[in-house]
Amino acid sequence: MIEICFLGTGGAVATEERDNASFLLKHDERLILIDCPGSVIQKIKKFKFDPREVHSILVTHIHPDHIYGLASFVHSLMLDDCFIQLFGSEETVNFCRSYLDLFHLREPKIKTRIDCVSLTPGKGFMLGDFLECNSFRVPHDSSSLAYHFFFKKEKKELIYSGDTSLSPHLFQEAEGIDYLIHDCSAPSRFFKKYPSLRRMHSNALELGQLSQKNSIKCLIPFHFFGELEFSLSEIEEEIRQSFRGTVIVPEDFDRITL
Ligand SMILES: [Zn+2]
Ligand SMILES: [Zn+2]
């Protein structure tokens, strides 16, 4: 069974309802954490999972709203004999090592060990016997990677864009895919008002258009800006103006089965 547990669905600015974006991917009783902002330990426990069962962390990029909770996560597991692989671009992995070293979290007294694995975009790697993953670059930050998951037994595929502007390469990769979790920071009216947003993020209207053009089966918009005033129904309406597939607009602590 493949499950997604949303720990946070917001952008860099948290709101009362939404924290910074991250989620758990549960597959074959294995837990994979995607990005690590804030207190993910507490959120994992709210889902009634044991944080010690997280065996991999995938980091999309090194902006604070995606990574600042890593030190606290490892510190919380300092007395537990866990082995966790952390994956990211070379820039991300180097940053994470330095960040953990600032807090002395890679010293022998810390029982949980983090093995930082630098990924080559385009080269696949295994996250379990039946789960392959590939990474590719997206236009957001020099450290940014998107992740493409291949669930071998279920014969399903999922892409998570991380933060990104709308990228033709991503939609080539995602053509006809079962599930796409994609940056959808705000409705299009804000991208007209603040054109510089286009360089780093995506709006709901054009995300819907490109998802329709590229035959995405299920679109999950994600990473909603907290500093702008809009409702999630506005996001959904803009997407549905052109997109005919399934749309799931997640809220924090939603749990979905793929
Ligand atoms: Zn972000
Ligand atoms: Zn970012």
Which of the 8 DSSP states describes residue 251?
Answer: -
Ligand 2 centroid distance, CA of 62 (Å): 7
* Signed CA dihedral, 69, 182, 158, 139: sign only: negative
Ligand 1 centroid distance, CA of 109 (Å): 32
> Within 10 A of 27 (CB to CB), how many other CB atoms are there?
20
- For residue 95, what pLDDT is reported? 98
Ligand 2 centroid distance, CA of 92 (Å): 12
Of the chain, the percentage scoring pLDDT greater than 90 comes to 99
Check pLDDT > 90 for residue 61.
Answer: yes
Residue 130, CB-side half-sphere exposure with 13 Å CA sphere = 13
The whole-angstrom separation of Cα 132 and Cα 24 is: 16
Residues with CB under 5 A from ligand 2 (ion): 63, 163
Ligand 2 centroid distance, CA of 140 (Å): 7
Ligand 1 centroid distance, CA of 144 (Å): 11
**Domains (ranges, CATH) in the chain?**
2-257 (3.60.15.10)
Amino acid at 18: R
Q: pLDDT tens, 170-226?
A: 999 999 999 999 999 999 999 999 999 999 999 999 999 999 999 999 999 999 999
Give the full edge-to-edge strand order of the sheet including 246-247.
125-128, 131-137, 145-151, 156-160, 179-183, 218-222, 246-247
- For residue 87, what pLDDT is reported? 98
